[in-house]
Amino acid sequence: MAETMQFDLVSPERRLASLQVREVLVPGADGDMTAMPDHAPVITTLRPGVLRVNGPDGTAEYVVSGGFAEITGSGISVLAEQAIPLTEMTRAHLDEMIESARAKHEAAKETFKNEPGPVDDAAKLLADMVALGDHINV
Protein backbone atom coordinates (compact mmCIF):
# COMPACT_ATOMS: atom_id res chain seq x y z
CA MET A 1 0.00 0.00 0.00
CA ALA A 2 1.26 3.46 -0.88
CA GLU A 3 2.03 5.72 2.06
CA THR A 4 0.68 8.95 0.52
CA MET A 5 -1.40 10.08 -2.43
CA GLN A 6 -1.77 13.26 -4.44
CA PHE A 7 -4.44 15.72 -3.23
CA ASP A 8 -5.64 18.69 -5.26
CA LEU A 9 -8.29 21.21 -4.20
CA VAL A 10 -9.47 23.88 -6.61
CA SER A 11 -12.32 26.38 -6.62
CA PRO A 12 -13.34 28.81 -9.36
CA GLU A 13 -11.26 31.50 -7.63
CA ARG A 14 -8.00 29.63 -7.07
CA ARG A 15 -6.04 26.45 -6.41
CA LEU A 16 -6.05 25.97 -2.66
CA ALA A 17 -3.90 22.87 -2.30
CA SER A 18 -1.71 20.46 -4.23
CA LEU A 19 0.19 18.13 -1.91
CA GLN A 20 0.88 14.60 -0.79
CA VAL A 21 -1.48 13.33 1.92
CA ARG A 22 -2.23 10.19 3.93
CA GLU A 23 -6.01 10.65 4.08
CA VAL A 24 -8.80 13.05 3.18
CA LEU A 25 -12.13 13.25 5.02
CA VAL A 26 -14.70 14.23 2.39
CA PRO A 27 -18.11 15.71 3.30
CA GLY A 28 -20.02 13.71 0.68
CA ALA A 29 -23.64 14.39 -0.21
CA ASP A 30 -24.46 10.80 0.78
CA GLY A 31 -22.35 10.89 3.93
CA ASP A 32 -18.80 11.54 5.02
CA MET A 33 -16.08 9.31 3.63
CA THR A 34 -12.35 8.95 4.13
CA ALA A 35 -10.13 8.50 1.08
CA MET A 36 -6.73 6.89 1.54
CA PRO A 37 -4.05 5.65 -0.87
CA ASP A 38 -5.25 2.75 -3.05
CA HIS A 39 -8.91 3.70 -2.48
CA ALA A 40 -11.35 2.26 -5.00
CA PRO A 41 -12.15 4.77 -7.76
CA VAL A 42 -15.28 6.84 -7.07
CA ILE A 43 -16.80 10.20 -7.92
CA THR A 44 -19.05 11.85 -5.34
CA THR A 45 -20.82 15.14 -4.90
CA LEU A 46 -20.00 17.30 -1.89
CA ARG A 47 -22.34 18.84 0.65
CA PRO A 48 -21.41 21.94 2.64
CA GLY A 49 -18.92 20.92 5.28
CA VAL A 50 -15.31 20.72 6.39
CA LEU A 51 -12.87 18.81 4.20
CA ARG A 52 -9.99 17.57 6.40
CA VAL A 53 -6.59 16.60 4.99
CA ASN A 54 -3.98 14.66 6.99
CA GLY A 55 -0.48 14.39 5.60
CA PRO A 56 3.18 14.20 6.52
CA ASP A 57 3.18 17.96 7.17
CA GLY A 58 0.15 17.92 9.49
CA THR A 59 -3.56 18.57 9.15
CA ALA A 60 -5.33 21.18 7.02
CA GLU A 61 -9.05 21.94 6.95
CA TYR A 62 -11.12 23.68 4.29
CA VAL A 63 -14.74 24.80 4.33
CA VAL A 64 -16.48 23.73 1.10
CA SER A 65 -19.96 24.71 -0.03
CA GLY A 66 -20.43 21.89 -2.54
CA GLY A 67 -18.82 20.47 -5.65
CA PHE A 68 -17.33 17.12 -6.65
CA ALA A 69 -14.55 14.80 -5.52
CA GLU A 70 -12.88 12.27 -7.80
CA ILE A 71 -10.96 9.57 -5.97
CA THR A 72 -8.55 7.32 -7.81
CA GLY A 73 -6.15 4.76 -6.43
CA SER A 74 -3.33 7.30 -6.61
CA GLY A 75 -5.04 10.50 -5.52
CA ILE A 76 -8.06 12.70 -5.00
CA SER A 77 -9.13 15.82 -6.86
CA VAL A 78 -11.75 18.09 -5.33
CA LEU A 79 -13.53 20.67 -7.45
CA ALA A 80 -15.34 22.89 -4.96
CA GLU A 81 -18.05 25.42 -5.75
CA GLN A 82 -16.49 27.54 -3.04
CA ALA A 83 -13.61 26.64 -0.71
CA ILE A 84 -11.96 28.61 2.07
CA PRO A 85 -9.21 27.43 4.43
CA LEU A 86 -10.83 27.04 7.85
CA THR A 87 -8.14 29.30 9.33
CA GLU A 88 -9.31 32.11 6.98
CA MET A 89 -13.06 31.57 7.53
CA THR A 90 -14.88 34.55 9.03
CA ARG A 91 -18.45 35.20 10.11
CA ALA A 92 -18.83 37.40 7.02
CA HIS A 93 -17.87 34.47 4.75
CA LEU A 94 -20.38 32.23 6.48
CA ASP A 95 -23.14 34.84 6.36
CA GLU A 96 -22.53 35.28 2.63
CA MET A 97 -22.72 31.50 2.05
CA ILE A 98 -25.93 31.21 4.10
CA GLU A 99 -27.52 34.15 2.29
CA SER A 100 -26.65 32.58 -1.08
CA ALA A 101 -28.27 29.30 0.02
CA ARG A 102 -31.32 31.20 1.30
CA ALA A 103 -31.67 33.00 -2.06
CA LYS A 104 -31.44 29.68 -3.93
CA HIS A 105 -34.15 28.24 -1.69
CA GLU A 106 -36.46 31.22 -2.30
CA ALA A 107 -35.85 31.04 -6.06
CA ALA A 108 -36.60 27.31 -6.07
CA LYS A 109 -39.85 27.84 -4.17
CA GLU A 110 -40.90 30.44 -6.74
CA THR A 111 -39.76 28.51 -9.82
CA PHE A 112 -40.82 24.98 -8.83
CA LYS A 113 -44.19 25.54 -7.16
CA ASN A 114 -45.51 22.05 -7.94
CA GLU A 115 -42.19 20.20 -7.93
CA PRO A 116 -41.02 19.48 -4.40
CA GLY A 117 -37.68 17.86 -5.40
CA PRO A 118 -35.74 21.02 -6.32
CA VAL A 119 -37.29 22.93 -3.41
CA ASP A 120 -36.33 20.16 -0.99
CA ASP A 121 -32.78 20.14 -2.38
CA ALA A 122 -32.48 23.90 -1.89
CA ALA A 123 -33.90 23.62 1.65
CA LYS A 124 -31.32 20.92 2.46
CA LEU A 125 -28.52 23.13 1.15
CA LEU A 126 -29.72 25.96 3.39
CA ALA A 127 -29.98 23.65 6.41
CA ASP A 128 -26.48 22.26 5.72
CA MET A 129 -25.03 25.79 5.55
CA VAL A 130 -26.63 26.75 8.88
CA ALA A 131 -25.41 23.52 10.49
CA LEU A 132 -21.92 24.16 9.13
CA GLY A 133 -21.90 27.50 10.95
CA ASP A 134 -22.80 25.76 14.20
CA HIS A 135 -20.03 23.21 13.62
CA ILE A 136 -17.17 25.61 12.89
CA ASN A 137 -18.14 28.29 15.44
CA VAL A 138 -17.24 31.45 13.51
What are the tens digits of pLDDT across the range 84-134? 999 999 989 889 988 988 898 899 988 888 788 888 888 888 888 888 887
Q: Picking from 12-16, 43-47, 113-117, 123-127, which range would have the lowest pLDDT averaged per residue?
A: 113-117
Instruction: Classify residue 134 by burial, with Cβ atoms within 10 Å: 0-12, 13-18, 19+.
Output: exposed
Look over the chain and give the mean of its residue pLDDT values, rounded to a whole number: 91
pLDDT of residue 27: 95
CATH architecture, domain defined by 5-86: Sandwich (2.60)
pLDDT of residue 138: 67
Return d(Cα 126, Cα 112) in angstroms, integer. 17
Residue 67, Ramachandran bin (φ over 0: left; ψ between -120 and 50: alpha; else beta)? left
Q: Picking from 1-15, 43-57, 71-85, which range would have the lowest pLDDT averaged per residue?
A: 1-15
Question: Which whole number is the average pLDDT over 50-77?
Answer: 94
pLDDT of residue 40: 94
